[in-house]
């Protein structure tokens, strides 16, 4: 039998090894899965993880996909540090896209440098507003934020679908559930000529640095971390729990909103029903996988973007269902949680440990 034995303290090494171990286990499981499906495991993994980024265009697309995931995940790292379980990045992203689009469509005839900032800000506001609802429900009514944010996700999705079928539908769009194309002044410029990499990636990197400063170098960040580690200690120290909850949720909502408005003004250029293939949920995995640390999140976010692209590649090249992406994401998170056990516990196999203990006893005996 295998036994788990408390380590007595967190293992820093395991905390960083665990995501890597989880990745390896996911790869092994993936290879087994591919073999069971009658695919060559090596070729399939190659298609999934190498082929999408085998050329420069692929690498640029990786950044396009990573931008919204990273923005959501960085925001989540703040709320999760405060142990506020915001599962609503998806809804906040959708609201950012929706409000940003509504704004861009209002300004469709406007020209000038000021159009884009207003559109982006309105998107951030949309996301922050959606998170503010959850903050209000939590601080004022004590409603569980996991359930409220998930419900708000479904509400946001239905609002978005309603909007593209109704008020925001392109009047000249042959009744397709899509908005009109935004004007050029409302579009995010690309960072690199000839690719689709847009300013969203730059925003993500800036947010990464800003959140790092907030969490590691500011008193506010310190308060947020204390609240998450020990809410009673935070209260005793006079930190205002509700205010911190509000701030953390607003930051996370605004960043998710930016991710959403970045999608509609960036690669999409219009509002469509499918802004996000679950970026907000994937960001939860990214935040955990990246250990809520900026650099970890960057790596995990790129990996997650790669899995999205790999899923598409596997669909085209191998005829596998696109749902492969979700399956790999789920496996990754599960293995991570299982491996995280090793942070606080070590594995003991009593059958093996006994002889060692006996030997020590004998040695001690002999020493006497």
Partner 1 sequence: MDIDLLSNILYAMVRTGTPLLLVALGELVCEKSGVLNLGQEGMLLMGAVVGFVAALLSGSLMLGFLLAILAGVAMSLLFGLIALGFSANQVATGLALTIFGTGLSAFIGSEFVGKPIDGLDPIALPLLSEIPLIGKMLFAQDPVVYLSFALFIAVYWFFRSSRPGLVVKAVGENPHAANAIGLPVMRTRYLAVMFGGAMAGLAGGYLSIAYTPLWVENMSAGRGWIALALVVFASWKVERVLLGAWLFGLASILHLVFQGLGFSISSNLLAILPYAATILVLVLLSRNQIRARLLAPISLGKPFHASS
Closest alpha carbon to 297 in 222, 205, 360, 366: 205
By C-beta, is 61 or 340 nearer to partner 1? 340
Q: Which stretch in 12-20, 228-236, 262-270, 340-348 sits in contact with partner 1 by CB under 8 A?
A: 340-348
Of residues 146 through 185, those in contact with partner 1 by CB under 8 A are: 146-148, 150-152, 154-155, 158-159, 161-162, 165-166
Helix (H, G, I), strand (E, B) or coil at 345: strand
Q: Give the other-Cβ count within 10 Å of 111's Cβ.
A: 11
Measured CA to CA in angstroms, residue 18 lies from 23, 35, 83, 204 at distances of 9, 26, 21, 25
Nearest approach, Cβ of residue 320 and partner 1 (Å): 9
In the set 61, 178, 263, 340, which binds partner 1 (CB under 8 A)? 340
252 and 131 in contact (C-beta within 8 Å)? yes
Nearest approach, Cβ of residue 361 and partner 1 (Å): 23
- Using only the alpha carbons of the chain, give its radius of gyration: 24
In the set 14, 168, 300, 324, which binds partner 1 (CB under 8 A)? 324
Measured CA to CA in angstroms, residue 301 lies from 63, 71, 336 at distances of 10, 9, 15
Please state, in angstroms and rounded to a whole number, the distance separating the CA atoms of residues 356 and 343.
Answer: 24
By C-beta, is 6 or 112 nearer to partner 1? 6
By C-beta, is 59 or 331 nearer to partner 1? 331
Please state, in angstroms and rounded to a whole number, the distance separating the CA atoms of residues 129 and 340.
Answer: 34
Q: Is 319 in the site for partner 1 (CB under 8 A)?
A: no
> Total residues contacting partner 1 (rule CB under 8 A)?
46
By C-beta, is 51 or 76 nearer to partner 1? 76
Measured CA to CA in angstroms, residue 279 lies from 94, 261, 289, 290, 316 at distances of 10, 13, 15, 15, 21
Of residues 112 through 131, those in contact with partner 1 by CB under 8 A are: none
Q: What are the E-state strand segments in the chain?
A: 3-6, 345-348
In the set 56, 236, 341, 349, which binds partner 1 (CB under 8 A)? 341
Q: Is 325 in the site for partner 1 (CB under 8 A)?
A: yes
Q: Is 21 in the site for partner 1 (CB under 8 A)?
A: no
Nearest approach, Cβ of residue 262 and partner 1 (Å): 23
Nearest approach, Cβ of residue 8 and partner 1 (Å): 12
By C-beta, is 341 or 349 nearer to partner 1? 341
Q: What are the residues whose beta carbons fall under 8 Å from the beta carbon of 240, sequence distance 6 or more?
A: none
In the set 28, 114, 144, 217, which binds partner 1 (CB under 8 A)? 144
By C-beta, is 270 or 325 nearer to partner 1? 325
In the set 338, 353, 357, 360, which binds partner 1 (CB under 8 A)? 338
By C-beta, is 32 or 147 nearer to partner 1? 147
- Per residue in 20-55, is it b (16+ CB within 10 Å) or e — as a string? ebbbebbbebbbebbeeeebebeebbebbbebbbee
Q: Map residues 73-92 to x or -, x wherever contact with partner 1 holds by CB under 8 A.
A: ------------x-x-----
Nearest approach, Cβ of residue 151 and partner 1 (Å): 4
Q: Is 212 in the site for partner 1 (CB under 8 A)?
A: no
Q: Is 323 in the site for partner 1 (CB under 8 A)?
A: yes
Helix (H, G, I), strand (E, B) or coil at 182: coil
Nearest approach, Cβ of residue 193 and partner 1 (Å): 36
| Positive or negative: CA dihedral 307, 312, 316, 322 | positive
The length of the chain in residues reads 368
Rounded to 10 degrees, the C-alpha dihedral 346/347/352/357 comes to 20
Q: Is 281 in the site for partner 1 (CB under 8 A)?
A: yes
Please state, in angstroms and rounded to a whole number, the distance separating the CA atoms of residues 98 and 92.
Answer: 10
The residue ranges that bind partner 1 (CB under 8 A) are 4, 6, 85, 87, 137, 141-144, 146-148, 150-152, 154-155, 158-159, 161-162, 165-166, 281, 284-285, 288, 321-331, 333-334, 336-338, 340-341, 345
């Amino acid at each position: 039998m295998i036994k788990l034995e408390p380590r007595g303290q967190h293992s820093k090494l395991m905390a960083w090894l665990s995501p890597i171990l989880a990745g390896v286990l996911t790869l092994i499981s993936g290879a087994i899965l591919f073999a069971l499906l009658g695919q060559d495991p090596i070729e399939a993994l190659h298609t999934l993880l190498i082929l999408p980024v085998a050329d420069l265009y692929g690498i640029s697309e990786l950044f396009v996909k990573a931008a919204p995931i990273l923005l959501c995940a960085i925001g989540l790292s703040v709320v999760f540090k405060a142990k506020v379980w915001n599962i609503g990045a998806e809804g906040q992203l959708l609201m950012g896209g929706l409000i940003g689009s509504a704004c861009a469509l209002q300004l469709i005839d406007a020209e000038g440098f000021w159009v884009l900032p207003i559109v982006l800000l309105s998107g951030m506001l949309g996301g922050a507003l959606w998170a503010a609802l959850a903050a209000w429900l939590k601080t004022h009514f004590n409603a569980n934020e996991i359930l409220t944010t998930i419900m708000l996700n479904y509400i946001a999705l239905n609002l978005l679908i309603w909007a593209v079928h109704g008020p925001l539908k392109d009047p000249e769009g042959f009744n397709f559930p899509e908005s009109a194309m935004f004007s050029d002044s409302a579009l995010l410029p690309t960072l690199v000529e000839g690719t689709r990499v847009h300013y969203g990636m730059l925003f993500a990197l800036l947010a990464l640095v800003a959140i790092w400063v907030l969490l590691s170098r500011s008193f506010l960040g310190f308060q947020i971390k204390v609240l998450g580690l020990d809410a009673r200690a935070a209260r005793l120290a006079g930190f205002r729990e509700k205010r911190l909850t509000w701030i953390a949720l607003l930051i996370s909502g605004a960043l998710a909103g930016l991710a959403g408005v970045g999608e509609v003004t960036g690669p999409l250029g219009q509002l469509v029903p499918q802004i996000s293939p679950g970026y907000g949920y994937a960001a939860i995995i990214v935040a955990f996988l990246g250990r809520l640390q900026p650099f970890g999140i960057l790596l995990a976010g790129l990996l997650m973007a790669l899995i999205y692209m790999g899923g598409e590649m596997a669909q085209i090249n191998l005829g596998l269902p696109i749902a492969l992406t979700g399956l790999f994401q789920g496996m990754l998170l599960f293995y991570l949680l299982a491996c995280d056990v090793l942070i606080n516990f070590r594995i003991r196999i009593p059958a093996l440990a006994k002889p060692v203990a006996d030997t020590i006893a004998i040695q001690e005996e002999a020493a006497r």
